[in-house]
Amino acid sequence: MPGAIHRNAVVKHFGTPEATEGSVNEPRLREEHGFEFNEKWLYRRPPNDPAGAVERAIYWQRYDYVGSAIRKTKDAEWENDDLPARLKGPAD
């Protein structure tokens, strides 16, 4: 689910991604897990993951957040996750 989240906030929370696919300037769009994107960040065993995920993919279209998918175990199916809601603090 798209929401107001910025790349710097993701890096501040999770650090730099372990792997990336595409780039902010990639003209071709791809689709995965129902998200259309041109850049994907992949985190394996992300630190402090608010969903307790062992793997998280974050999708971007240029600088805009598109969505996030997680796996709760290494053999689990991918499921979409509302990252902006999870990163919002109680005072936000």
**10-residue averages of pLDDT along the chain (92 residues):** 75 94 92 96 93 96 94 95 80 42
What pLDDT is recorded for position 47?
86
Residue 88 counted as domain residue: no
Residue 63 counted as domain residue: yes
Question: How many domains does one find in the chain?
Answer: 1
Question: Pairing relation of β-strands 64-71 and 79-81?
Answer: antiparallel
What pLDDT is recorded for position 32?
96
Q: Within 13 Å and on the Cβ side, how many CA atoms surround 50?
A: 14
What pLDDT is recorded for position 33?
94
Residue 34 counted as domain residue: yes
Please give the residue range of the domain that contains residue 32.
7-80
Q: What are phi and psi of 35, to 5 degrees?
A: -105, 135
